[in-house]
Amino acid sequence: MFKRRGRHVAPALAAFLTCAIALTTAPAEAGAHPGPVHPSLRKHLAAYYDFEHPVRGDPARERDLGFSRTDIGLVGGGARMRTEDGAHRGSRTSLQVRQVNPETKGNDDWKAGVHGPSGVPSLRAFNSVEGMTVMGWFKMTGPNPGLNSNTAAPDDRYGAVGLAGVLSGDSDGHAVRGLLEIIEVDGELRLVALGRRLDGAGSQTFAASRDWRSLLPVGEWVFLAATFDFGTGAMALYRDGRRLDGFYTVPGDPWDLSGPGPHRASPTDPRGIKIGGSFPQNTAERNPCDCRMDSLMFLDSAVGGDRIRAQYRLVTAR
């Protein structure tokens, strides 16, 4: 009896040890990450933040799990900005951003990002890029837009709410190459994708037709995505994996696509990433968001709706 069991245990143990060795010695995939990301997105995932990976020795910074390895700072609140409120079943924590002193002009808002005055070399994937995508989870946690701390009027509010985006190659911390935002369009706030192909040139905005408050109700996690195709001028917005109806707000050809192609973004490294408001270098305040964010992705391609739906379903399937 004992001899028969031994004959079966030995091969099983050997197979187990072989598998274990293979797992521990296999080379890591380029740009590999521990978070739940759909395989079709991984090769384009330049930057990815799940707010569960502080930089070792510096909890006020968040580690980039994308292939660019562009770590960002948690500005204003540091490690306190990580909140035990995951957006989906694969997440435990998220990032809280907010306005701190709306009656006082200062630099104490909670936001996140990185800024390099001559560009951020690790973000070279967005240099001369043909297209890009910004997506992630967002949850409104307070009144938006915030009171304008840069004016004396007590009831003056900002005309925009900053969500997340990649800065242009000549940005002072505000101008972007691609951004998810809530901004005034013809006097009405709307959820938009805002893109700029060429540094210093005009931007185009694609605005969702639906009331932004129905798209981002207070207290509810929502998965948003914005895509920017610099070759064709096409832009799109998605909510929970579904494409939103919308319209372009700038007439004419702000991206200068009338000449011969192919058309790409400017051949400059972006000056950084901004999350939850402008000026990640913390020199000024503008367009704060009283909200939480989770699993933010910045991709070097204008990915299709099928991949955006696949990502949403990956983390919400039961």
Over residues 200-222, the pLDDT tens digits come to 999 999 999 999 999 999 999 99
User: What per-residue confidence (pLDDT) applies to 79?
Assistant: 98
User: What per-residue confidence (pLDDT) applies to 267?
Assistant: 98
User: What per-residue confidence (pLDDT) applies to 8?
Assistant: 41
User: What per-residue confidence (pLDDT) applies to 259?
Assistant: 87
User: What per-residue confidence (pLDDT) applies to 318?
Assistant: 66
User: What per-residue confidence (pLDDT) applies to 234?
Assistant: 98
User: What per-residue confidence (pLDDT) applies to 261?
Assistant: 86
Three-state SS letters, the chain: CHHHHHHHHHHHHHHHHHHHHHHHHCCCCCCCCCCCCCHHHHHHEEEEECCCCEECCEEEEECCCCCCCCCEEEECCHHHHEECCCCCCCCCCEEEEECCCCCCCCCCCEEEEEECCCCCHHHHHHCCCCEEEEEEEEEECCCCCCECCCCCCCCCECCEEEEEEEECCCCCCCCEEEEEEEEEECCEEEEEEEECCCCCCCCEEEEECCCHHHHCCECCCEEEEEEEECCCCCEEEEECCEECCEEECCCCCCCCCCCCCCCCCCCCCCCEEEECCCCCCCCCCCCCCCEEEEEEEEECCCCCHHHHHHHHHHHHCC
CA distance 304 to 11: 47
User: What per-residue confidence (pLDDT) applies to 1?
Assistant: 39
Over residues 233-255, the pLDDT tens digits come to 999 999 999 999 999 999 999 99
User: What per-residue confidence (pLDDT) applies to 211?
Assistant: 97
User: What per-residue confidence (pLDDT) applies to 218?
Assistant: 97
User: What per-residue confidence (pLDDT) applies to 20?
Assistant: 37
User: What per-residue confidence (pLDDT) applies to 24?
Assistant: 33
User: What per-residue confidence (pLDDT) applies to 152?
Assistant: 81
Residues in the chain, pLDDT under 70: 1-35, 318
Neighbouring residues of 2: CB distance < 8 A, sequence distance ≥ 6 = none
